Amino acid sequence: MLRLWPSFSPNTLWVTFAADGLAIVQQTRGFNKRITDQQFIKTRHTEKHPAESPNWQLLVNQLDGYLSSASLNKNTQMNVILSSDYVRYIMLPAQQVAMNSAEKSAYVNAVFREIYGAAANDWYIKYHSAAPHQNTPAAAVDKQLLASLEHLAGKYQLKLNTVQPYLMAAFNALNHSIHKANGYLVLLENTKLLLIYCQQGVCQQLQTVTVNQDWQTALKNALNRELLLNEQLNTADKNLFIYAPAQKNTSLNAIDGWHVQRIGHANKAKLEAPFYMLESVL
């Protein structure tokens, strides 16, 4: 999702935009990939932009500072992953009438404007090309954020390869773990919890929950609300597939009526907590 253009280079720079800062990893490409550098740059919040209101411009400025002093080869490939603090999501219900790409694009844009108002005119909107009988997930990112990343890539002679939400990077990488199961995929971010209802492994519903330190209580409360809203939820759907790479040492609490299962990547390199959003792609 949100791929800008393909390119090739011998090195890759991975950057994550999270609520608390930038996680940056330099990696060689090829069969023997290795990490050559990794840094976490904590966000310098201001009174105008407090911690509870993440501002992407602060992170762009910090990325600019990093790139100005980094020893990067010309045409290094840069990939950016955005936490849900910088992305808006909607789930479009299955349509009874077939639409071509232009009609569906207009429909998706109209739904975003209906929900968010005129602000949606300033967003770059991308949707999954789902079959007509399936629900369609869509995501929106500030156009100025993308323009700023393109500007930095040009300034430092990098190749901006992808800009994508963490949700998409993680969901695609975890597809083998849930396969065609029914239930809820839970993605834990720094300040957000994504609750994705799947049927036969296909995303049907999506909700974003703001969390504080006690994310397991937030998850339990979200599931209780889900039960109230979805009275037809049966026992076969009460599976929880929890992906929380930053909380690998935390025991999962049992939740009455739910089968709780931790999922992850057995053969991935171990990364410290600030770099958790890169586990699925490295």
pLDDT tens-digit series, residues 40-99: 999 865 444 444 457 899 999 999 999 999 989 899 999 999 999 999 999 988 877 778
> Is residue 148 helix, strand or coil?
helix
What proportion of the chain, given as a percentage, has pLDDT over 70?
90
Average pLDDT over residues 130-155: 91
Global confidence as pTM: 0.89
Average pLDDT over residues 205-226: 91
**Minimal CA–CA distance to 252: which of 220, 226, 276?**
220
**Dihedral sign (CA 268, 269, 271, 275):** negative
pLDDT at residue 152 greater than cutoff 60: yes
State how beta strands 192-199 and 183-188 pair.
antiparallel
Backbone angles phi, psi at 234, to 5 degrees: -105, 175
Within the chain, strands assigned E span 11-18, 21-28, 35-42, 77-82, 88-92, 123-127, 136-142, 159-165, 183-188, 192-199, 202-210, 239-243, 259-262
Separation of alpha carbons 176 and 80, rounded Å: 23
pLDDT at residue 1 greater than cutoff 50: no
Confidence of residue 259 (pLDDT cuts 50, 70, 90): very high
Confidence of residue 9 (pLDDT cuts 50, 70, 90): low
Task: Report helix angle 143-155 to 56-69, nearest 10.
Answer: 10
What proportion of the chain, given as a percentage, has pLDDT over 90?
58
Predicted local confidence at residue 199, as pLDDT: 86
Confidence of residue 6 (pLDDT cuts 50, 70, 90): very low
Backbone angles phi, psi at 62, to 5 degrees: -70, -35
Q: What is the b/e burial string over 10-41, where b = at least 16 CB atoms within 10 angstroms of the residue's CB? A: ebbbbbbbbbbbbbbbbbeeeeeeeeeebebb
Separation of alpha carbons 227 and 97, rounded Å: 30
